[in-house]
Amino acid sequence: MRIEKVECFPLKIPGHPYVGGHDDRKKSGTYGSYIKHRHYRAIYIADAQALLVKITTDTGIVGWGETQASLIPQLVAEMLDEIITPGLIGEDPFDRAVLRDQAYDRPRDRGHDSGLIVDAISACDIALWDIVGKATGKPVCDLLGGKYRTEIPCYVSGVHAETAAEQIEKIEDWLEKGFTNFKISLGFGVREDIEHVRQLHEALANRAQILIDSHWAFTLNEAIEVGRAFEKMGVRFMECPMNSEVIETHSSLCQALDLPIALGEEFRTRYRFKERLERKALDIAQPDIGRLGITEGFRVINLCNAFDIPSAPHIGSGLGIYTAASLHVAAATEQLYLLEFQPSQIDVSDLYFSPSLRPTEGNYQLSTAPGLGIEPDEAKLTEHLFQ
């Protein structure tokens, strides 16, 4: 079996904003075709954006991949066509790890260990795993060594609201549906964040487990102050409290707090995790399979296992292939903490992919179908190609 064709689907689906875990009423304006937020430095998408890759073999087996391409997916597609595809045509998809590493090596002189080029590689890597699963009649998790679980515990991400009171009402609705873990996006300031969590804690008591995403908002001293307050209110982890580039500050923070510090969504290689694991700069790893791919993502998780660090794979803006790949990796992860659930992204994914991956009662259900176990409606997606 040989790879015969590689096709890119850079997508923009109107009407499905992703604003980093917050209600879009908190936006401060626009930045070109993106959304600015009142509190965050990053920009977010006004419409669902994604890059899908379709790889076809000479036997007719098709594999689908997806990277987290919330910014300029059409540029990721162009890089993939120019730099990655020539190295795949005519190759054996079973050589998926070798093909991934060769693609990673080719732009080595141009800055190769981060950014959009690694995103493009990761999309193809996921598609190759899908092909191998279909060719062998096995789900991807079995190819990774087997599944520790068929139900994947998750947390509801964001809980979009404008106020703590409104957020509490929405969490109450989720509790009635059997969900108990919730990640709240804060980063407004030390006093503001502490007060917000205080209101959640008083209203929800022991019924809900609260995780916090601080969106890189604090200095070291601020992160220690807010983290100590969160500890007293039973917060389960604090994600991205400070700029992730400076390893030493995260080491100091982890040493100062009992509250677990979660980090890793932006890293695209095992080397970025290794640096932080060796210096005890994180307590919970958040590898993003849409940015790492399955091959590198599972390498990261095995590395974390060696350091006795649990993994909580990150899922951001993206569609069904990205989520399915994350599910299979999570199923094969020995020390799984929780997996992210983005309700707004599942809403749009359900319009174009089947079967639905929507979790129920706090758990995703793992497909036992060969490969990733999910297929897109290609004709419907083609209507949303970037022009």
pLDDT averaged per 10 residues, the chain (length 387) = 98 80 66 78 83 98 94 93 97 98 90 87 98 98 97 95 93 98 96 97 95 96 98 97 95 98 96 97 98 98 98 95 98 98 94 97 96 97 92
The reported pLDDT for the residue numbered 296 is 98
Question: What does the pLDDT read at residue 319?
Answer: 95
Give CATH for domain 3-137. 3.30.390.10
Domain edges within the chain: 3-137, 142-380
> Per DSSP, what are the bridge partners of residue 152?
364
3-state secondary structure of 45: strand
Confidence at residue 114, expressed as pLDDT on a 0 to 100 scale:
83
Instruction: Classify each residue of 123-152 as buried b or exposed e, where b means 16 or more C-beta atoms within 10 Å of its C-beta.
Output: bbbbbbbbbbbbbeebbbbbbbeebeeeeb
Report the CATH architecture of 142-380.
Alpha-Beta Barrel (3.20)
